[in-house]
Amino acid sequence: MDGNSSLYPIVFDNHVHLRKDGFFKDAVKRFIVSGGNAFNLVNLPDYGIAPSEYYERLYSNTLEIADAVRREFGITVLVTLGPYPLDYFFFERALIEPAKAMKKGIDVAARFVMEGKAHAIGEVGRPHFPVSDDILKISEDIFEYAIMSSKDLGKPVIMHTEDLTEKSHRDLIEFARETGMDPRKLVKHHALPADFEIRDQMTLSTLASRSNVRVAASSDRDFLLETDYVDDRSKPDKVIPIDSVPKRAIMIKSEYDDWERILETAFIRMPAFLYGNELFNL
Ligand SMILES: [Zn+2]
C-alpha cells in the first residue's frame, strides 16, 4: 500500500496500541492511507490472560501483531514491552505479589530486547491517579528497576506517569544519571505543554492534538508525536484517531516555515537516536 508517500520520508507515531480483536489491520490501513509509515507498538493490558503466564503471553501477542503488520504492509514497526503501572492491581486481585510479578515482567521484556525483537522498555512508571503511599512506593521501586534494566540494555524507557512537575522531572533525571543512563533515553509519554517549559534532557513525546503540536512546535524543545491509539471497537478513537500523526505532519508542513527541521527531528533524528538507525533504514 502506497498511501500519501509524498508527505515525508518517515512519518512516525511513537505510541500505538493494537489488538487482534480491535480494528487492527483496518486501523493500520487508515494510518498508511493518511501518510504514516512507521510506529512504535506498545503492549496493551489484557487482563483476560491468566496472571501466572501474563507477560509471556501478552508480549508474544504483541510481537505477533508487529510481525503481521510488517508482513502485510511492509512498514516499520518497533516494539515496546513492559508492565503497565496498573498491572499492580491485577496481580493484587489475584493474590500475587505485584512487585515480584512485574519485575519478572521487566526481565522477560529485557530478554526480547536482547533478542532484537523489542526496542524499548515500557510503558512503565506510576499510576496516573493518586494512590496510597504504599502503592506509590512499590510502583517507584518497580519503575526504578525498569530504568536500570533499560540502562543495561542501552535502550529507551517509555514512561507512563502522573503529570510531572519540575521536581519530578529533576528526580527522574537524577535517578537516570545515578544509574549511568543517558537522560535523553527517558521518554515521557503523554508529555503536556507544562513539560515543554522545563528545560532538561528528558525526551518528550506528545499527543498529536492540534493544540499540543502548536505548543511543541513553537518551543525550543525536540519532541516526538504519538496517538496512544487504543484500538477498542466499543470506544472508537478513545484517545485520538490513528491518523492524527500524519494529519499533524500535514498541518506542520503548511503552517511552519521550519517544517523540515520539525519533521526531521520528530520522525527521523529522535527515533533513530532512541531506537537505532538501522530500524529506519538510515
Ligand atoms: Zn499507552
DSSP 18-39: --TTSSHHHHHHHHHHTT--EE
pTM of the predicted structure, to 2 decimals: 0.96
Q: What distance in angstroms lies between residue 257's CA and the mean position of ligand 1's atoms?
A: 31
- 212-238 pLDDT tens trace: 999 999 999 999 999 999 999 988 767
Q: What distance in angstroms lies between residue 281's CA and the mean position of ligand 1's atoms?
A: 26
Q: What distance in angstroms lies between residue 17's CA and the mean position of ligand 1's atoms?
A: 7
- 62-87 pLDDT tens trace: 999 999 999 999 999 999 999 999 99
Q: What distance in angstroms lies between residue 264's CA and the mean position of ligand 1's atoms?
A: 24
Total length of the chain: 282
Q: What domains can you pick out in the chain, each with its CATH number?
A: 12-280 (3.20.20.140)
The 3-state DSSP class for residue 191 equals coil
- Residues 37 and 250 sit within 8 Å (Cβ to Cβ): no
Q: If we measure between CA atoms, which residue out of 83, 17, 22 comes closest to residue 51?
A: 83
- In this prediction, residue 1 carries a pLDDT of 46
Q: Is the pLDDT of residue 261 over 50?
A: yes
Q: If we measure between CA atoms, which residue out of 11, 10, 28 comes closest to residue 19?
A: 28
Q: What distance in angstroms lies between residue 245's CA and the mean position of ligand 1's atoms?
A: 15
- In this prediction, residue 237 carries a pLDDT of 67
- Backbone φ/ψ region at 190: left (φ over 0), alpha (ψ -120 to 50), beta: left
Q: What distance in angstroms lies between residue 230's CA and the mean position of ligand 1's atoms?
A: 7
Q: Is the pLDDT of residue 60 over 60?
A: yes
Q: What distance in angstroms lies between residue 15's CA and the mean position of ligand 1's atoms?
A: 6
Q: What distance in angstroms lies between residue 5's CA and the mean position of ligand 1's atoms?
A: 27
Q: Is the pLDDT of residue 4 over 60?
A: no
- In this prediction, residue 5 carries a pLDDT of 56
pLDDT bracket for residue 278 (50, 70, 90): confident
Give ion ligand 1 contacts, CB < 5 A: 228
- In this prediction, residue 235 carries a pLDDT of 84
Round to the nearest angstrom and report the end-to-end CA distance of the chain: 21
Q: What distance in angstroms lies between residue 71's CA and the mean position of ligand 1's atoms?
A: 24
Q: Is the dihedral of CA 103, 228, 206, 223 positive or negative?
A: positive
Q: Is the pLDDT of residue 266 over 50?
A: yes
Q: What distance in angstroms lies between residue 158's CA and the mean position of ligand 1's atoms?
A: 9
Q: What distance in angstroms lies between residue 226's CA and the mean position of ligand 1's atoms?
A: 9
Q: What distance in angstroms lies between residue 124's CA and the mean position of ligand 1's atoms?
A: 10
Q: CA 168 to CA 26: how far, in whole Å?
A: 39
pLDDT bracket for residue 37 (50, 70, 90): very high
Average pLDDT score over residue span 82-102: 97
Q: What distance in angstroms lies between residue 123's CA and the mean position of ligand 1's atoms?
A: 7
Average pLDDT score over residue span 170-176: 97
